[in-house]
Structure 1
Amino acid sequence: MPLAVMSPRTGPTAEARKRVTRAEELRLQIADEITRGRLPPGTTLDETALAARFGVSRTPVREALRELAASGLVDTRPHRGAVVARPSLERLQDMFDVMAELEALCAGLAALAMTPAERRQLDLLHTQMGEMMRAGDFAAYREANEQFHTSIYAGSHNDYLVEITLGTRRRLSPFRRAQFHALGRLALSHREHDQVVTAILRGQRDAASAAMRSHIGIVHGAYEQYAQTI
C-alpha cells in the first residue's frame, strides 16, 4: 500500500534529508535491538563502532543515540559515552498516560472535525490493514499503523495538538513497535482500531476518545507483556 507523502514548500537540502533518514533508520534498528533484548542494559554503544557497522559517518549515529536517550533507551554520560538503558516502570507509565490522553483528544476532535474525504481515507486504510493482518504481514501492518494514527491526529485539525502528539509518539515509538511482537497482537490491534474508526465515522466524540484511550492502554500492556519474555 503506497503511503502518501506531502512535500513542504521549502525544505532541507537533499544531503540533510539523507542524513536525517539515515539517523531515523539507525534509531529504529538500534531501538529494535534493545527492546528485543539483543542489546541488554549496560551495553556500551560506541559511536565509531556503530558507524563502521552500519557504514555511515558518526553524525547520524550521534543523532540516533540522542533520540534514543529521549526515549529512555540510552543513557549518555559526559566522557563515558552511551550505554543501553531502560526507562523505569514509573517513567514508562507516565509516558503512556500522556500519550493516551493526547491520542484520545485527537480522536475525539477527529470525530467532529474530519472531512468526508478524510473519513473515507481512514476507513479505507483500516480495511487495508485488516487485509495485512489476515495475511500476517507484520512489517506492512506496523508501517500502516503509524499512518493510521497520524491520520487521526491530522483529522483533529489542531496543528499544535498534532505537533505535541507526534513528539510524544516519537519518544514512545520503540515500545509501540516492540509490542507487535506479542502473540496475537496484530488481530487485537485491528479490533481495537475498529472501535476507534466506528466512533469517528459516526461522529461520536466521547466514544472515539474512550476507544483510543483504551487502545493506548492496551498497547502499553502488550509491550510490558512482551518485555517479560526477553
Structure 2
Amino acid sequence: MHSLGGFSGGTRPARGRGAGGSKVDQAYLALKRAIVSGALAPETSIDKNEWCARFDVSKLSITTAINRLAFEGLVVVEPQRGSYVARIHLEDVRQWMLMRRALEVEIVGVCAASMSDAAIEALGQNLAYQKAAIASGDLEGFHALDTRFHHQMTEGLNLARVGEVLDPIRTHLERVRRTLLPEPGRPEGTYREHDAIYGAIAARDPSKAQHEMASHLDRVARELHAFVAKNPSFFEA
C-alpha cells in the first residue's frame, strides 16, 4: 500500500490542457492523491524524473506541483535532500480533529433540526451503498461513500463557507483515515456509527445526532492513538 508501485495513477493524460486541467494541475492532483491515499508513505522520496515521465512534462512543471504540496504541508523540500513526503505531525492532527469535531457536531445538530426530507433521503441512500460496498469487500468504494456521507451534511444545508473550512482539514485527516481503513472490523463499525447518526437526523433529534457524531469522531481519535503506537515512523510530535 505504501510504495509508489501500489499507486494506480491511471493512464497518462493527453497532451495539453484537457478536462482535468493543465498538466501541472494533473501532476499536482495525482501526487496529492498518492500522498493522501498512503501510496506514497511519509518520508518517501519524490523522484521528479519518474513523475516527469509519467505526465510527459518538464521538471519545472513537477517542481511547481511539488511546491504547491509543500505549501499545503504534504511535502517537504530540502536543498541537500530533495523532495519527500512529509511525516504526519501529531499535534497538527490533534488540532485538526478538534476543529473537525467542533464543526461536524454542530452541523449534525442543524441537520436534525432543519435538513430537508430529500437531503435526509439521500443520506439514507448513501448508507445503503455503504452496506453494499462492505458486503462486496469494496474498501475503496466504501471509503468514497464514507467521505461523501460527511460532505452531504454541509451540502444538504447549503453551508458552502463551512465546507470551505472543513475541506482542507479533511484533506490532512484523510491520510490518517486511509491508513486506519484496512483495520479489521473498521468499515463495519463505521457503518454502524453512520447508521446511528442518520437515524437521529431522520428522527429530528438534534441532541442524539450530536451525541452519535461525537462518539463516531471520538472512536477515530482512539484508533489513531493505537495506530501511532504501532507505526511511530509515520509521525512526529
TM-score band, normalised by the shorter chain? Answer: 0.7 to 0.9
**Equivalences for residues 1-40 of structure 1 within 5 A:** 14=19, 16=21, 20-33=25-38, 39-40=41-42
Secondary structure of the residue aligned to 2:77 is strand
Structure 1 residues 19, 204: closer, same or farther in 2, change over 3 A? farther
The alignment yields a C-alpha RMSD, in angstroms, of 2.8
TM-score by length of 1: 0.78
What does the per-residue CA deviation read over 1:119-176, in whole Å, with 9 as the maximum and x for residues that have no partner? Answer: 1111111122112112221111011112111111212332211221123212222212
Distance 2:27 2:67 in 1: 12
TM-score by length of 2: 0.76
**Equivalences for residues 184-195 of structure 1 within 5 A:** 184-195=185-196
Aligned to 1:116: 117
Distance 1:136 1:68 in 2: 35
Secondary structure of the residue aligned to 2:109 is helix
% identical aligned pairs: 23
In structure 2, give the amino acid aligned to 1:32.
S
Is 21-30 or 102-111 further displaced after alignment?
21-30
Is the CA contact 2:38–2:175 (under 8 Å) kept in the aligned structure 1?
Answer: no
Secondary structure of the residue aligned to 1:102 is helix
Is the CA contact 1:31–1:68 (under 8 Å) kept in the aligned structure 2?
Answer: no
Report the number of matched residues.
Answer: 213
Distance 1:62 1:211 in 2: 42
Distance 1:106 1:86 in 2: 30
Distance 2:56 2:208 in 1: 47
Secondary structure of the residue aligned to 1:44 is coil
Structure 1 residues 219, 144: closer, same or farther in 2, change over 3 A? same
In structure 2, give the amino acid aligned to 1:140.
G
In structure 2, give the amino acid aligned to 1:178.
T
In structure 1, give the amino acid aligned to 2:65.
E
**Equivalences for residues 1-230 of structure 1 within 5 A:** 14=19, 16=21, 20-33=25-38, 39-41=41-43, 43-52=44-53, 54-57=54-57, 58=59, 59=61, 62-63=64-65, 66-67=68-69, 70=72, 72-77=73-78, 81-230=82-231
Bigger radius of gyration among the two: 2
Is 78-87 or 107-116 further displaced after alignment?
78-87
In the TM superposition, residue 27 of structure 1 has moved relative to its aligned partner by 1.2
Is the CA contact 2:35–2:175 (under 8 Å) kept in the aligned structure 1?
Answer: no
Secondary structure of the residue aligned to 1:76 is strand
What does the per-residue CA deviation read over 1:182-230, in whole Å, with 9 as the maximum and x for residues that have no partner? Answer: 2211101101111111111111222222222221222233344344444
Aligned to 1:6: none
In structure 2, list runs of 5 or more residues that go unmatched: 1-16, 232-237
Distance 2:173 2:63 in 1: 19
Distance 1:69 1:182 in 2: 31
Distance 1:141 1:76 in 2: 34
Is the CA contact 2:109–2:207 (under 8 Å) kept in the aligned structure 1?
Answer: yes
What does the per-residue CA deviation read over 1:36-58, in whole Å, with 9 as the maximum and x for residues that have no partner? Answer: xx6453x4324333333x34535
Secondary structure of the residue aligned to 2:158 is coil
In structure 2, give the amino acid aligned to 1:207.
K
